[in-house]
Amino acid sequence: MTSYPDFLPSLLNLDGRWEEIFKRLYSVFSNDFKTGKVFHRGFIVLYDGRILPDGQGKEEGFWHVISRIDRSNRGREIDFRRAERLPWARPLMESPPRSEILVFDHSEGPKDKGQRRYIWLEQFDYVLIMQKKKRVFFWVTAFYIDSEWKRRDLRKKFGERL
Domain boundaries, the chain: 18-159
Neighbouring CB atoms inside 10 A of 19's CB total 8
Strand order in the sheet with 38-40: 38-40, 43-47, 136-144, 126-132, 114-121, 102-108
The count of other CB atoms within 10 Å of the CB of residue 79 is: 18
Percent of the chain scoring above 90 in pLDDT: 77
Check whether 84 has a pLDDT greater than 60: yes
Q: How confident is the model at residue 72 (pLDDT cuts 50, 70, 90)?
A: confident
- Tens of pLDDT, residue by residue over 92-141, are 999 999 999 999 999 987 666 788 999 999 999 999 999 988 899 999 99
Residue 62's CB is within 10 A of a number of other CB atoms, namely: 23
- For residue 28, pLDDT over 80 is answered with yes
The whole-model pTM stands at: 0.92
Judge contact between 88 and 127, C-beta under 8 A. no
For residue 80, give the nearest of 155, 16, 123 by alpha carbon.
16
